[in-house]
């Protein structure tokens, strides 16, 4: 139930395609790491939208660190998550007992 795709250069298009696969997987995957893949803002947004959706609630751990999201994009992404950059949380965001790891 853990898939580590770290460092595979999937890019933003690959991240969007991965979200499609996660939806077809119907919640069997619990932990996913896509760190160091240059998914940029587009890919990070797609992954975060899935994580926070009803379809993504089975994911208890999602690692999106080191994916080339520039600072302005990170500000936008964190705002979309309801977790502003000037808030008390660092790169590990907690959603109940679920973890989302995200940084530039």
Give yes or no for residue 20 having a pLDDT over 90: yes
Cα torsion for 4, 65, 17, 73, to the nearest 10°? 180
**87 SS3 class:** coil
Copy the structure tokens of residue 10.
């999937």
Please calculate the CA angle 84-91-83 and round it to the nearest 5 degrees.
Answer: 20
pLDDT, tens digit, for every residue of 21-48? 999 988 899 999 999 999 999 999 999 9
Copy the structure tokens of residue 79.
């705002």
pLDDT, tens digit, for every residue of 46-80? 999 999 999 999 999 999 999 999 999 999 999 99
Write down the pLDDT at residue 87: 84
């Amino acid at each position: 139930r853990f898939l580590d795709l770290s460092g595979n250069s999937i890019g933003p298009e690959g991240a969007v395609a991965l979200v499609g696969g996660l939806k077809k997987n119907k919640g069997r995957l619990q932990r996913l790491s896509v760190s160091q893949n240059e998914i940029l803002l587009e890919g990070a947004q797609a992954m975060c939208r899935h994580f926070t959706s009803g379809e993504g609630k089975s994911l208890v751990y999602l690692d999106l660190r080191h994916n080339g999201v520039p600072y302005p994009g990170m500000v936008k992404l964190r705002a979309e998550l309801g977790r502003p950059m000037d808030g008390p949380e660092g790169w590990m965001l907690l959603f109940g007992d679920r973890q989302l790891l995200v940084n530039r």
